[in-house]
């Protein structure tokens, strides 16, 4: 929907392996950073939307993860809404918080995403991803993956899917094979996405991985599921991110000097297309977000998108209208999505290098874009950034994301 909310403050933990820290600790760190950035206190909050996807599985905290973190901070009485929406949990929390501000119900709202994914039992971690599909029809999900690869003339080895790796890597591998078959996209072009994001991540002190990789290093890394090698797959991680949203009235009252406006934020669930040429959920959300923000792809200064795999980013170039269908490989190869390029994508390092604590990812994107628009992204600043887009999807049902959010921020 068309939005009229302003970002007053942002905060984010280091993403990575935080074995010695609990979910509350990470959540509180991000919230305190955001409150300090906004110049506000916990008592100023009127509502809170808390995104999390895996706490029930990994740490056993079900039902009230938001309330327990806020109560630890001495924050109670306000409405607290816990949101679970797969990898789009945090962006859904952001979307709902913005919508409540826009509708006039609140003047100051917190949106947070937090996650712990590391666990001594890797099967527990992988089970989170296996649960983000139709579990009552799991055999059909696997068959869809196999059929997609077969249609591209390839046989995908599903041995180890969901046990030795996230089943989503097999989903992304089948999507990559389909794109290669249709458009001649190469494995090296997928590797170029990972190499580009590794360079961006090397400039981000909060990224999980800071080593810059070449295309050759990506290609010669261990194979996960052809054509994906290890650096083409987003890592699991722990972390949290938070944003304080305020109304136009509150922003004026606070005298915000460099406000970032949420011009649009569109949330949709997937559907069963009636024809093969029907737009994807990402393309549909993007078109709606562009229209509501009165901008187009050519107006974008920078983008944070859901590169859960390198092929995902390349395909999203096309679905977001950055280039024509089939041109994603050339787009990254020619440097258009690199810092200094036409529209830098994933200046944070993206999910591939910044990390992917799934319940935190969507708001971590908002943190990066806010800092870009305010000129605070030291070492990786996009010159003159004025319009930014965040795209965050989650789950998988019948060939597409189960839920997806596209938000547009303006300076």
To which residue do tokens 């319940």 refer? 359
Report the distance separating Cα 120 and Cα 284, nearest Å: 39
Give me the pLDDT at residue 134, please. 94
Instruction: Report the predicted TM-score, pTM, of the whole model to 2 decimal places.
Output: 0.97
The kind and range of the H/E element at 49 are: strand 47-51
| pLDDT at site 26 | 98
Residue carrying the six token digits 């302003």: 6
Q: Which two tokens stand for residue 83?
A: 């949101």
Whether residue 203 is predicted with pLDDT greater than 90 in this model: the reply is yes
What's the pLDDT at 274? 87
Asked whether residue 157 carries a pLDDT value surpassing 90, the answer given is: no
Read off the pLDDT of each residue in 131-143 and give the average, rounded to a whole number. 92
**Phi, psi dihedral angles at 409 (to 5 degrees):** -110, 145
Give me the pLDDT at residue 160, please.
Answer: 81
Mean pLDDT of all residues in 210-214: 98
Of 346, 247, 338, 333, whose CA–CA distance to 306 is shortest? Answer: 346
What confidence tens digit (pLDDT) does each residue in 63-107 have? 999 999 999 999 999 999 999 999 999 999 999 999 999 999 999
Confidence bin at 370 (pLDDT 50/70/90): very high
CATH topology of domain 2-120+235-410: Peroxisomal Thiolase; Chain A, domain 1 (3.40.47)
- The answer, yes or no, to whether residue 158 has pLDDT greater than 90, is no
Structure-block tokens of residue 36: 């300090």
Q: What is the pLDDT of residue 31?
A: 98
pLDDT digits (tens, 9 = 90+) for 290-333: 999 999 999 999 999 999 999 999 999 999 999 999 999 999 99
**Position with higher pLDDT, 143 vs 42:** 42
Beta carbons within 8 Å of 74's beta carbon, 6+ residues apart? 42
Per-residue pLDDT tens over the stretch 10-40: 999 999 999 999 999 999 999 999 999 999 9
The C-alpha atoms of residue 221 and residue 13 are separated, in whole angstroms, by 28
Residue 154's pLDDT band (cuts 50, 70, 90): confident
Give the angle 330-336-342 at the CA atoms, nearest 5°.
145
Q: Is the pLDDT of residue 155 over 90?
A: no
Instruction: Point out the least confidently predicted range of 69-73, 140-144, 194-198, 405-409.
Output: 140-144
- Report the catalytic residues: 87, 356
Does the pLDDT at position 201 exceed 90?
yes
Q: What is the mean pLDDT of residues 154-175?
A: 87
pLDDT band at 383 (very low <50, low <70, confident <90, very high): very high
Q: Using pLDDT thresholds of 50, 70 and 90, give the confidence band for residue 50.
A: very high
Cα–Cα distances in angstroms (integers) from residue 365 to residues 125, 139, 382, in the given order = 23, 33, 15
Hunting for tokens 């992988």 — which residue is that? Answer: 126
Average pLDDT over residues 46-60: 97
- Per-residue pLDDT averaged across 201-230, rounded? 97
The model's pLDDT over 117-128, given as tens digits with 9 standing for 90+, comes to 999 898 999 999
Residue that is written with structure tokens 């303006």 in the block: 410
Q: How much is the pLDDT for 164?
A: 80
Compute the mean pLDDT over every residue in the chain, rounded to the nearest whole number. 96
What is the Cβ-side half-sphere exposure of residue 18, based on CA atoms within 13 angstroms? 24
**Token pair for 89:** 């949990």
């Amino acid at each position: 929907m068309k939005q009229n909310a302003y970002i007053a403050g942002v905060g984010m933990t280091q993403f990575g392996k935080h074995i010695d820290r609990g979910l509350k600790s990470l959540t509180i760190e991000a919230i305190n950073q955001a409150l300090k950035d906004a110049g506000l206190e916990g008592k100023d909050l009127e509502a809170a939307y808390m995104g999390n996807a895996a706490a029930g599985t990994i740490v056993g905290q079900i039902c009230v993860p938001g309330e327990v973190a806020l109560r630890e901070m001495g924050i109670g009485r306000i409405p607290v809404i816990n949101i679970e929406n797969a990898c789009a949990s945090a962006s859904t929390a952001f979307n709902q918080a913005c919508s409540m501000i826009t509708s006039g119900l609140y003047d100051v709202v917190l949106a947070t995403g937090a996650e712990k994914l590391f666990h001594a039992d890797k099967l527990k971690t992988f089970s989170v991803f296996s649960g983000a599909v139709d579990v009552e029809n799991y055999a059909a999900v696997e068959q869809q993956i196999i059929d997609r690869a077969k249609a591209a003339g390839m046989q995908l080895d599903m041995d180890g899917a969901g046990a030795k790796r996230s089943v989503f890597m097999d989903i992304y591998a089948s999507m990559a094979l389909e794109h290669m078959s249709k458009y001649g996209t190469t494995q090296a072009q997928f590797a170029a996405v990972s190499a580009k994001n590794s360079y961006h991540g090397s400039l981000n002190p909060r990224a999980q991985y800071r080593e810059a990789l070449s295309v050759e290093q990506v290609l010669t890394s261990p194979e996960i599921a052809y054509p994906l090698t290890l650096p083409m797959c987003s890592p699991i991680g722990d972390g949290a991110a938070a944003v304080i949203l305020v109304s136009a009235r509150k922003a004026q009252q606070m005298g915000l000097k460099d406000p970032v406006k949420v011009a649009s934020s569109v949330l949709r669930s997937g559907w069963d297309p009636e024809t093969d040429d029907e737009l994807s959920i990402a393309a549909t959300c993007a078109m709606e977000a562009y229209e509501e923000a009165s901008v187009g792809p050519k107006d974008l200064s920078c983008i944070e998108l859901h590169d859960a795999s390198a092929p995902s980013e390349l395909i999203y170039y096309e679905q977001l209208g950055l280039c024509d269908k089939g041109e994603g490989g050339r787009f990254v190869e020619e440097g258009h999505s690199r810092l200094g390029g036409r529209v830098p994508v994933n200046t944070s390092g993206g999910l591939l290098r910044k990390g992917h604590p799934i319940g935190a990812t969507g708001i971590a994107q908002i943190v990066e874009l806010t800092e870009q628009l305010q000129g605070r992204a030291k070492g990786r600043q996009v010159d003159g950034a004025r319009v930014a887009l965040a795209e965050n999807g989650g789950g998988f049902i019948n060939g597409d994301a189960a839920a997806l959010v596209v938000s547009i921020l303006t300076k």
